[in-house]
């Protein structure tokens, strides 16, 4: 059994911002989560998790994101309207409260992923390169994806021998917003189409810390029930489980659309604040 696992869930552009701020706030209080034995990322969490796994400090990540957000705010060409997430949100509301969504449901959202008009795969990969998503596969890191045709769930690991940037892009390929990503002759979409967190993948570790973006606007209690059921899998395997999710002020800051880049700086700041507040609890669990 491994010792410590860090699980970072999905949450769009604002999820990346809040998770980064949270880790930076914890880091400022002397709680570094980059020393986990296993780091799992889903969607937004794959960007944050892979960066931490490469040894980049959370404070540096936060500073880079704030600079990028301010640059976008001053450039009209970079700050268009937030993407329409209505199809994905409708899918989430049809997911069962616990357990994996039926394979038929995953195939249905996979059709949306494969058929929607989006930016090109090359454009998405180039976009992700600006976030530092490139190079060698980080040690101890894995990310999730779902086959956009069959609905099969996949955990990408270094041993799979796939291109790191493509694996991250597939984990972040929100249906209807980004293109499905080609890997090994198959098309892959966001790992959040199986679960926004996939905490149960870390079962078998002694301590599992899950960071889950659960904004009140999208059925908070329903999502907490799903994450809790996945945490039960960790406990049944003999481990301990702890959850960090947005607090009340952060809920309000998220707003109605997780892809609204104009709120990034706000969410980083809320994450930092919450990280400082959570530091004692997390340190006691993680140490």
Q: Is the pLDDT of residue 79 over 70?
A: no
- The mean-pLDDT minimum among 76-90, 104-118, 204-218 falls in 76-90
Please tell me which residue, 147 or 79, carries the higher pLDDT value.
147
Residue 15 to residue 259: CA distance in whole angstroms: 9
Q: Provide the pLDDT for residue 218.
A: 58
**Cβ within 8 Å of residue 269, ≥6 positions away:** 21
Please list the residues that pair with 261 across neighbouring strands: none
> Please, which pLDDT band fits residue 77 given cuts at 50, 70 and 90?
very low
pLDDT (mean) for 2-25:
96
Q: Is the pLDDT of residue 80 over 70?
A: no
- Does residue 274 or residue 67 have the better pLDDT? 274
State the pLDDT at residue 1.
57
Q: What is the pLDDT of residue 219?
A: 61
What is the mean predicted confidence (pLDDT) over 264-270? 96
- Summarised one tens digit per residue, pLDDT across range 182-215 is 999 999 999 999 999 999 999 999 999 999 998 7
pLDDT for residue 75 = 65
The whole-model pTM stands at 0.94
């Amino acid at each position: 059994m491994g010792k410590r696992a860090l699980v970072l869930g999905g949450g769009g552009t604002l999820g990346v911002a809040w998770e980064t701020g949270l880790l930076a706030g914890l880091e400022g209080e002397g709680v570094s989560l980059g020393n986990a034995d296993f780091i799992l990322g889903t969607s937004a969490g794959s960007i944050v998790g892979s960066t931490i796994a490469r040894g980049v400090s959370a404070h540096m990540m936060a500073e880079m994101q704030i600079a990028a957000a301010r640059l976008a705010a001053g450039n009209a060409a970079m700050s268009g309207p937030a993407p329409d997430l209505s199809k994905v949100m409708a899918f989430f509301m049809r997911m069962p409260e616990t357990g994996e969504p039926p394979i038929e449901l995953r195939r249905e959202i996979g059709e949306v992923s494969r058929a929607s008009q989006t930016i090109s795969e090359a454009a998405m990969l180039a976009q992700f390169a600006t976030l530092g998503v490139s190079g060698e596969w980080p040690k101890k890191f894995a990310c999730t994806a779902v086959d956009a045709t069959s609905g099969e769930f996949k955990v990408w690991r270094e041993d799979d021998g796939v291109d790191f940037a493509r694996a991250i892009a597939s984990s972040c390929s929100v249906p209807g917003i980004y293109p499905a990503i080609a890997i090994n002759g198959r098309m892959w979409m966001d790992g959040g189409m199986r679960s926004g967190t996939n905490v149960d993948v870390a079962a078998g570790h002694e301590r599992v810390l899950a960071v889950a973006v659960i904004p009140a606007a999208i059925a908070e209690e329903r999502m907490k029930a799903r994450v809790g059921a996945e945490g039960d899998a960790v406990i049944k395997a003999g481990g301990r489980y702890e959850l960090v999710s947005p607090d009340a002020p952060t809920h309000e800051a998220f707003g109605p659309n997780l892809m609204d880049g104009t709120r990034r700086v706000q969410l980083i700041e809320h994450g930092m604040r919450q990280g400082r507040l959570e530091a004692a609890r997390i340190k006691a669990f993680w140490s």
